[in-house]
Amino acid sequence: MFKPLLFLVLILSTSFILGQPGTTSTIELKEAIARKQQMGEESLFKNIPFKNIGPTIMSGRVVDIDANPVNPVEFYVGYASGGLWYTANNGTSFTPLMDNSPTQNVGDIAVDWQSGTIWIGTGENNSSRSSYAGIGILKSTDKGQTWQNMGLPDSHHIGSIAINPKNGDEVVVGVTGHLYSPNEERGVYKTTDGGKTWNRTLFISNTVGVIDLIHAPGNFGTQWAATWEKDRKAWNFTGNGAGSSIYKSLDGGTTWSKVSTPESGFPTGEGIGRIGLDAYDENTIYALVDNQNRRDKEIEESKEGLKKDDFKTMSVEAFLKLDDDKLNEFLKTNGFPEKYNAANVKPMVRSGAVRPIELAKYLEDANTLLFDTPVVGAEVYRSEDGGLTWKKMNEKYLDDLYFSYGYYFGEVRVDNANKEKIYLLGVPLIKSGDGGRTYTSMDGDNVHADHQALWVDPSMPGHLINGNDGGLNMTYDDGANWSKLNSTSVGQFYAIAVDNQKPYNVYGGLQDNGVWMGPHNAEQDTGWQQSGHHPWKSILGGDGMQVQVDIRNAAMVYTGFQFGNYYRLNLDKDQRTSIQPKHELGEAPYRFNWQTPILLSPHNQDILYLGGNKLHRSLTQGDDWEAISDDLTRGGMSGNVAYGTLSTISESPFKFGLLYTGSDDGLIHMSQDGGGSWKEVGKNINRPGEAVMNIQKAGLWVSRVIASGHQKERVYATLNGYRWDDFTPYIYLSDDFGATWKNIAADIPASPVNVIIEDPHNENLLFVGTDNGLYASVDRGDSWQLFQDGIPNVAVHDLAIQGSAKHLLVGTHGRGIYKADISQIEQLKPEVLQKALYVYPLENINYSGRWGNSFSNWGKPNTPGLDVVFYSNLTTTYTARVKTPDNIVVSETEVVADKGLNIMSYDLAFSKKGQQDFQRKNKKELKEAGNGKTYLPEGKYEVEISGNGTTEITAFEIKAQ
């Protein structure tokens, strides 16, 4: 179990500055961990299990790999939000090691292979949209069975860890720091007593952290650290600054000096971003630099055809002289609607209604900011004197390695046997055999893009273990051939959905792994490798987002990838039709959230809603769109991230056109007339413990707004402060169309809220997913129960309920999808909760003569089972008896019950005495099964549970098949 250590507390302000949320303090986070553990022990639902249904094939983002240099079939893998996993059979299978930890968020791992001690820096070292904060540095001395928090609680994100190979108690840690706010706990920290105490040995500022830290092979005393200045906001990310530099230590990280000076030959200044380091020896050091300075304008040879940038400086006269065929080719190639052709656009320009530059602006959206910004990009530098002087090694621009988002990568590795051989990790994985001057690609046909980690075997050249956004790959021939090692369920889901098929399917959009679907009851095993058919299949690429399935025809699926790029899929015909709404030429482009919301109307499945900064509605399955609102946001902000966008949509099942929207900048709107008019209804939501606040001022992200399926006037809203490092849970209920709101977060521990869902059968039953777990309420939010037996402490991004099956599906961002039967929870209405004991009805069972026997001498016996579920209003001991109608007790046991729901599993076998009594009374011979048990024959039976001052009886029947 996790053993918390008293945190060194750095108290941060939780007040509002200019109306903005405050950063949650380490005191609050520590209290949240303790409170959540207590809630787990007291939960009414702690005995209701979840089952992980995968899928495993696409995996999730790897952040670090540490292999045993002596025996490399043994290694550890850290996933960004999926925990730490261990293999001792070269990746054939893995065991999770952090399921009992308060977090699954990993930034870096380091192993002292001599002692077996594992160190984990929690909090992903990337700065992505879903890079979750950690709780400091964890240590295990028993190969991950138990973990101890060794401090640095306000670090949030840890970049790297170095262990002295000759003294496992001497550890140096590079702390990246908060993602969305300044903080002091950044820089380099060192311990010489195994983490009991820490000294900060390098600090630049509260916005400059350490992203990489290495030591010279064979000499722990010589170290280098890469600092990184960055500033992330919801609307803008500056991943570069003058604080991004390289420092060197000659005393094991105790003191540091800056070596990336202007005189050294290393680039400096505001344009320098993330830096990755690796050392061949004490003298030869490589640095991979994300250079965000703009490129010098290149003089290119004239090319056939018009380009987007041509229109940015084109005069009206020049535009009107363009060849119609060339203009039409440009318009068609770039996806302009058919109505925009030369014959129509030239008169618009001639009249002044449209300027030529607006043809370029029409094509500029959030994706173009990622791919089209002309930055210098990745550069490789090498030092031959331990970092005192540097030389740029790449002869040409390393195009297509980073694009403009180098903040997401930054890893370089050098071969231990050849200082000229290096590997660069970016969108592709590339290698150089001449010290970084020229490169070749190493990507294989089963290797995912976006490479985050690479372990290079120090004793076997060409043996590499690669971690990327799609999991793990391994090669023994330096990338000529790769094997895939994806057996872990670590998928990072943004959104999930279900259909009404039998068996029903589950759909989900994943971080950088597209959209997948599969049957909910598919076994997660390796049998598909024999059959050639995996039960889960990919239906779209990119960063998978929300999914809507037509309830009339499950082959009709609406889904897409980032920034509103949505499609209508006909799975039966393998057709894909783009359905993204397009603005008019001359208008400002629509703004679409990274996770653009979509919704099929519950009243008519031909009607589709899609949220940009305006709400769009299609009456024709996405073929045609109309904006049914003005801008429902605060209008956006200057920056390089799409912002001022709708983040959630809901329509009341009671009335067509009763619509709600929520935005990423804190607005909730309602329309009672299908978008004819709109009213802002979020002004009276209050922050817990404070006076009423306007969430528009606070700038909180509206993660969900949900119109109730039980009361027309009822609506729920959840707000999320993650992008302010504010982890307060914001959950609200309104029973008057949003005119007034009630805070129903109650006792949920500090963690940003991503989703709320209302049970379709019980109006008092709610479920909430946070960045650290799942909660349920049976009293409409007056109190909450932790509900995650079988689910580790992982971010829950989405929830879905399959109403007929009465299953809750949980989409986590790091551990795949989980499923639980909630039929018993649905029945926990006030009249049941008031009882001392309540035993749920049982389903009948079909008899089988194969019970207790196997199909072969080597197979496992086929065993039956009956789960008796009962509610107890306190923790006590009950006597459970299984009886025949004539009161023969065929089996009896005592059950120690928890307060809440309990499951007593009965194997349908006689006790020794029960068998004797049954045979004596019925004069019937009973045959013993192959496993030595005698099972109940066909007939009617009762289950009697007594205790707590009461007795309850329920019946079941074993029927002939």
Q: Please report the beta strands in 562-624, taking only residues with DSSP state E, as ranges in sequence order.
A: 565-570, 575-578, 598-600, 608-611, 615-618
| Residue among 76, 55, 79 nearest 67 (CA) | 76
Q: Do 820 and 830 touch, CB atoms closer than 8 A?
A: no
Using DSSP bridges, classify how beta strands 285-294 and 272-279 pair: parallel, antiparallel or unpaired. antiparallel
- Return the pLDDT at 697: 46
Q: Please report the beta strands in 631-765, taking only residues with DSSP state E, as ranges in sequence order.
A: 646-651, 659-663, 668-671, 679-680, 701-707, 715-720, 730-734, 742-743, 753-758
- Return the pLDDT at 855: 80
- Return the pLDDT at 303: 53
Residue 696 has pLDDT above 70, yes or no: no
- What's the token pair of residue 376? 């210098």
CA distance 13 to 18: 13
Instruction: Give the Cβ contact number of residue 526 at 10 Å.
Output: 11
- What's the token pair of residue 548? 């809507």
Provide the CA 680 distance to its chain's centre, in angstroms.
31
Classify burial at 926, counting beta carbons within 10 Å of its beta carbon; exposed 0-12, middle 13-18, buried 19 or more: middle
Residue 7 has pLDDT above 80, yes or no: no
Question: Amino acid letter at 303?
Answer: K
Question: Amino acid letter at 141?
Answer: T
Counted residue by residue, the chain has a size of 961
Question: Amino acid letter at 869?
Answer: V
Q: Do 506 and 492 touch, CB atoms closer than 8 A?
A: no
pLDDT class of 298 with cuts at 50, 70, 90: low
pLDDT (tens digit per residue) in 457-475: 999 999 999 999 999 999 9
Which pTM does this prediction carry? 0.94
Of the chain, the percentage scoring pLDDT greater than 90 comes to 85
Mean pLDDT of 730-742: 96
- Return the pLDDT at 682: 87
Instruction: Give the Cβ contact number of residue 524 at 10 Å.
Output: 19
- What's the token pair of residue 469? 């956004």
pLDDT (tens digit per residue) in 82-112: 999 999 999 999 999 999 999 999 999 999 9
| Contact partners, residue 420, CB within 8 Å, separation at least 6 | 432, 433, 434, 435
Residue 372 has pLDDT above 80, yes or no: no
pLDDT class of 22 with cuts at 50, 70, 90: confident
CA distance 132 to 537: 28
- Return the pLDDT at 20: 60
- Return the pLDDT at 200: 98
| Contact partners, residue 81, CB within 8 Å, separation at least 6 | 60, 61, 104, 105, 106, 124, 130, 132, 492, 794, 795, 813, 814
CA distance 103 to 772: 7
| Contact partners, residue 295, CB within 8 Å, separation at least 6 | 374, 375, 376, 397
Mean pLDDT of 602-616: 98
Which pairs with CB-CB distance under 8 Å and at least 24 residues apart come from 679-682?
681/734, 681/737, 681/738, 681/739, 682/717, 682/738
Strand partners, 945: 880, 952
Q: Please report the beta strands in 410-476, taking only residues with DSSP state E, as ranges in sequence order.
A: 411-415, 418-425, 429-432, 440-441, 451-456, 464-468, 471-475
List, in sequence order, the alpha helices (H) in 520-610.
528-531
Q: Do 842 and 943 touch, CB atoms closer than 8 A?
A: yes
Task: Count the helices and strands in the chain (H runs, E runs).
Answer: 11, 67
- Return the pLDDT at 370: 59
List, in sequence order, the alpha helices (H) in 772-895.
823-826, 830-833
Which pairs with CB-CB distance under 8 Å and at least 24 residues apart come from 563-566?
563/365, 563/366, 563/367, 563/592, 563/593, 563/594, 563/596, 563/642, 564/590, 564/592, 564/593, 564/596, 564/610, 564/612, 565/367, 566/596, 566/598, 566/610, 566/622
Mean pLDDT of 294-320: 78
pLDDT (tens digit per residue) in 882-898: 999 999 999 999 999 99
pLDDT (tens digit per residue) in 484-542: 999 999 999 999 999 999 999 999 999 999 999 999 999 888 888 888 899 999 999 99
Residue 689 has pLDDT above 90, yes or no: no
Residue 10 has pLDDT above 70, yes or no: no
Instruction: Give the Cβ contact number of residue 114 at 10 Å.
Output: 11
pLDDT class of 302 with cuts at 50, 70, 90: very low
Phi, psi of 37 (to 5 degrees): -60, -40
Of 18 and 824, more confident: 824
Among 82-91, 360-369, 501-510, 870-879, the range scoring the smallest mean pLDDT is 360-369
Of the chain, the percentage scoring pLDDT greater than 70 comes to 95
Q: What separation, in Å, do the N-terminal and C-terminal C-alpha atoms of the chain show?
A: 46
Residue 13 has pLDDT above 50, yes or no: no
- The mean of the pLDDT values for the chain is 93
- Return the pLDDT at 738: 96
pLDDT (tens digit per residue) in 612-668: 999 999 999 999 999 999 999 999 988 889 999 999 999 999 999 999 999 999 999
Mean pLDDT of 131-147: 97
Buried/exposed code over 176-211 (b: 16+ C-beta within 10 A; e: otherwise): bbbbbbebebbbbbbbbebbeebeebbbbeebbbbb
